Amino acid sequence: MKKATFVLAPDSFKESMTAKEVCNAMEKGLRKIFPEANYIHVPMADGGEGTTQSLIDATDGQMYHLNVTGPLGTTVEASYGIMGNGEIAVIEMASASGIQFVTQETKNPLVTTTYGTGELIRACLDKGIKKIILGIGGSSTNDGGAGMAEALGARFYDAAGNTLPRGGGALGQLYKIDISGLDSRLSQVDIQVACDVTNPLCGEQGASAIFGPQKGATPEMVAHLDSSLAHYAGVIRAQLGKEVAITPGAGAAGGLGAGLMAFTQCTLRKGIDIVVEYSGLCDKLAGADFCFTGEGRIDYQTKFGKTPYGVAHSAKAEGVPVIAVSGCVGDDVEALYDEGIDTIFGIIPRADNIEALLKDGPLNMERTCENIARLLKTALDN
Amino acid sequence: MKKATFVLAPDSFKESMTAKEVCNAMEKGLRKIFPEANYIHVPMADGGEGTTQSLIDATDGQMYHLNVTGPLGTTVEASYGIMGNGEIAVIEMASASGIQFVTQETKNPLVTTTYGTGELIRACLDKGIKKIILGIGGSSTNDGGAGMAEALGARFYDAAGNTLPRGGGALGQLYKIDISGLDSRLSQVDIQVACDVTNPLCGEQGASAIFGPQKGATPEMVAHLDSSLAHYAGVIRAQLGKEVAITPGAGAAGGLGAGLMAFTQCTLRKGIDIVVEYSGLCDKLAGADFCFTGEGRIDYQTKFGKTPYGVAHSAKAEGVPVIAVSGCVGDDVEALYDEGIDTIFGIIPRADNIEALLKDGPLNMERTCENIARLLKTALDN
């Protein structure tokens, strides 16, 4: 083999390694056998947790931390990134409004708010950013994005002219939306929303019914939230002239999808497609000999838009073979062979407890990739 | 690649698969990618548990079951095999006299006997066998092989002319060995003893000191057994004219090594060397493209004579690359790369309990080998 080029494009391994750390471990193992090869690191993500870190790492960008309003109204530390070109921000809504900020005792989708997500967007506007990649997974909220809009200057009133309390539970009282104070810079900003669900805002497949329970909604709460969001969509339709009730994706992140559609210039796309585009993966794959990808767990669900799926499709377009390496090889991975993933290896060396396996992730990834390289070399030399 | 030939030469995976079952799972996975290839199954072993099964399976031989005297004197069901050529028997001493027949409560190396092992040998003589492969691992005994010899016609008396009770604890009373009744067919039989230890019969490195404690010997028992075996060796030296006290391997299996030297025509060899020879592995490797091996656990100790080590050395002599696949990839496997193992893969797909992993062994082996084949094909096509 001529001087080989390996593109390393894994997702993060949750609770074990960032995507960049996976890249490093992969290279360390491969380099033992192919010391002269080119190694191109493309830390990946699929719009979910780790997307900011990966896109920052992939482009030598910078992470920023700031205090914002958490989902329960208390202050939390959140973060966003600005990619290496200085022009594109990356936000995960969960960083400000995620489910990790509520406990079994405090979770209450009637009151949780996306206000902090709006504050992160405002922080990007303050930096002159014109394009934002926004991952909306992992939310604790069911407020239709009203909190996000409020943080950016929108005002929500009841029939008596009082400001509505935050949270989806109050939206049934919404009488008037005032967008006169909405941050004018928003109209100049393109928000690329990483959204893998197509749920509408309301109804049986809506935000409240499908995602409410995992945020703590009882059946009674689900019914109340669903009718509140339907009312909210009606007010938006009447006063802002936008249809957000039935648009696919409107129900994502407790209706944050709908709020983004109502108050910002946004495009909803599959998270992996956004990351593939902005990581520059395709250019980096051109002429490569092998592409390595992976994620903490790989299974048949991977083909519904997770990182190895997206990487494999990009690699196939360039004619590059794809080797997936995963912490957990789940059920029916055979379904992935047809999706461009040529081969799949697990990294677990032995029966052990999950904590030890997560901790040993880098070593196990390194050893596995060394042995994959050994097999490649054996085959190529044969 | 021309029509490929894969030699599949794994050990058994303890508590999960026999070596033959490993071969079957390997082929099943590989065949999905290389349906036209030749698959040569060589179920292997290293002289330890599973050796009889593997050599029977490797040669289409037959297994025989019979009741014998267990280590505690009660009847146990034991087995031995006759290889496909009908001329070579394979016995594991543990089948008749193994540690699995005693419990925490009943283990007592003062009384446990190898009598049943002698009965297995006698059964082979009755079938006209002239060559026996005898694996001696996993013993519960410390009787210097006196029980084995007794089953074959030797008699052991104390100074008063009484027959000694069985077990190593009585050997200190040995006054006279009578071999006039020893089965005369023994002199025509070549016993190939699979023995990986070099311990002498007595002393600090002897059978009692090193292996006695794991069979239940207290420090006092160790001292008593050690002096008893020393006395036994002295009587053998004086009355049979054979030196068995210091010969390397005499201390194997509670001194069964010494007993075999005293009463039979035997050769002690590394177990893996015996299995390599009688499985016909080298002939089968000639002209093969890849050799797969493996064992339940692979680690740096593998290089001290375990199956993948022996297979790798044989394969290297034929210039065949070696791929090892294991249920557990242990510490410092890097040490094996220099021993002819080209690459090593684990088969565990995820963190799970050991029972489930053992049960899923065949499926995990199949999936892993399919993915190895996928990687090979990708590399070969590239």
Residue A286, token pair as written in the block: 């051109």
Q: Which residues contact A351 (CB under 8 A, 6 or more apart)?
A: B328, B348, B351, B352, B353, B354, B357
Position B259 pLDDT exceeds 80: yes
Cβ A116 vs Cβ A256: under 8 Å: no
**pLDDT for the residue numbered B381:** 86
In whole angstroms, give the CA distance from residue B382 to residue B379: 5
Task: State the CB neighbour count (10 A cutoff) for residue A4.
Answer: 19
- Residue-wise pLDDT for B300-353, tens only, equals 999 989 999 999 999 999 999 999 999 999 989 999 999 999 999 999 999 989
DSSP-H helix ranges across A297-351: 307-317
**pLDDT for the residue numbered B270:** 96
Measured between beta carbons, the chain A residues lying within 8 angstroms of B382 are 289-290, 321, 380
The average confidence (pLDDT) of chain B is 96
Using DSSP's 3-state secondary structure scheme, residue B90 falls into strand
Residue B270, token pair as written in the block: 């590394």
Q: What is the mean pLDDT of each run of 10 residues along chain A (382 residues)?
A: 89 96 98 97 95 96 98 98 97 97 96 98 97 97 98 98 98 98 97 96 96 96 98 98 96 98 97 96 96 96 93 96 96 92 96 92 98 95 79
Instruction: Tell me if chain B has a CB within 8 Å of the CB of A337.
Output: yes
Measured between beta carbons, the chain B residues lying within 8 angstroms of A352 are 351
Instruction: Tell me if chain A has a CB within 8 Å of the CB of B122.
Output: no
Question: Inter-chain contact A380–B376, Cβ cutoff 8 Å?
Answer: no
One-letter amino acid identity for B116? G
Measured between beta carbons, the chain A residues lying within 8 angstroms of B337 are 374
Smallest CA–CA distance, residue B228 to chain A, in Å, is 43
DSSP-H helix ranges across chain A: 19-33, 51-59, 93-97, 115-126, 146-151, 207-211, 219-240, 256-263, 271-279, 281-285, 307-317, 354-359, 361-381
Taking the domain A51-271, which CATH number applies? 3.90.1510.10
Residue B19, token pair as written in the block: 């070596």
Predicted ipTM beyond 0.90: no
**pLDDT for the residue numbered A382:** 73
CATH 3.40.50.10350 intervals, chain A: 5-42+301-381
- Residue-wise pLDDT for A150-205, tens only, equals 999 999 999 999 999 999 999 999 999 999 999 999 999 999 999 999 999 999 99
Instruction: Tell me if chain A has a CB within 8 Å of the CB of B330.
Output: yes
Closest chain A residue to the Cα of B331, Cα to Cα: A349
Q: Which among B330, B274, B269 has a CA at the least distance from the CA of B303? A: B330
Write the residue in A323, A343, A382 that is nearest to B289 by C-beta. A382
Segment B13-21 shows an average pLDDT of 96
**pLDDT for the residue numbered A126:** 97
Cα dihedral A139, A140, A142, A147 sign: negative
With cut-offs at 50, 70 and 90, classify the pLDDT of residue B162.
very high
**CA dist B252 to A7, B148, B200, B219, B234, Å?**
54, 14, 8, 19, 18
- The H or E element containing residue B277 is helix B271-279
Instruction: Tell me if chain A has a CB within 8 Å of the CB of B73.
Output: no
**CA dist B88 to B52, B192, B264, Å?**
11, 10, 16
CATH 3.90.1510.10 intervals, chain B: 51-271
CATH top class, domain A5-42+301-381: alpha beta
In whole angstroms, give the CA distance from residue B76 to residue B92: 14
Instruction: Tell me if chain A has a CB within 8 Å of the CB of B363.
Output: no
Question: Inter-chain contact B357–A351, Cβ cutoff 8 Å?
Answer: yes
Using DSSP's 3-state secondary structure scheme, residue A297 falls into strand
Instruction: Tell me if chain B has a CB within 8 Å of the CB of A319.
Output: no
DSSP-H helix ranges across B179-270: 207-211, 219-240, 256-263
Position B120 pLDDT exceeds 80: yes
Measured between beta carbons, the chain B residues lying within 8 angstroms of A382 are 1, 289, 321, 380
Q: Which among B94, B198, B201 has a CA at the least distance from the CA of B138? A: B94
Smallest CA–CA distance, residue B380 to chain A, in Å, is 6
In whole angstroms, give the CA distance from residue A45 to residue A11: 5
In whole angstroms, give the CA distance from residue B25 to residue B32: 11
Question: Inter-chain contact B321–A382, Cβ cutoff 8 Å?
Answer: yes
Question: Inter-chain contact A375–B374, Cβ cutoff 8 Å?
Answer: no
In whole angstroms, give the CA distance from residue B336 to residue B340: 7
Which of A13, A369, A374 to probe by mutation at the B interface, max B CB count within 10 Å?
A374
What letter does residue B193 receive in the DSSP assignment? E
With cut-offs at 50, 70 and 90, classify the pLDDT of residue B1.
low
Measured between beta carbons, the chain B residues lying within 8 angstroms of A6 are none
With cut-offs at 50, 70 and 90, classify the pLDDT of residue B3.
confident
One-letter amino acid identity for B374? R
Using DSSP's 3-state secondary structure scheme, residue A161 falls into coil
Instruction: Tell me if chain B has a CB within 8 Å of the CB of A367.
Output: yes
**343-362 in chain B: CB under 8 A from chain A:** 343-354, 357
Phi, psi (deg, nearest 5) at residue A317: -60, -25
**pLDDT for the residue numbered B154:** 98
Closest chain A residue to the Cα of B1, Cα to Cα: A382
Q: Which among A381, A300, A304 has a CA at the least distance from the CA of A48? A: A304
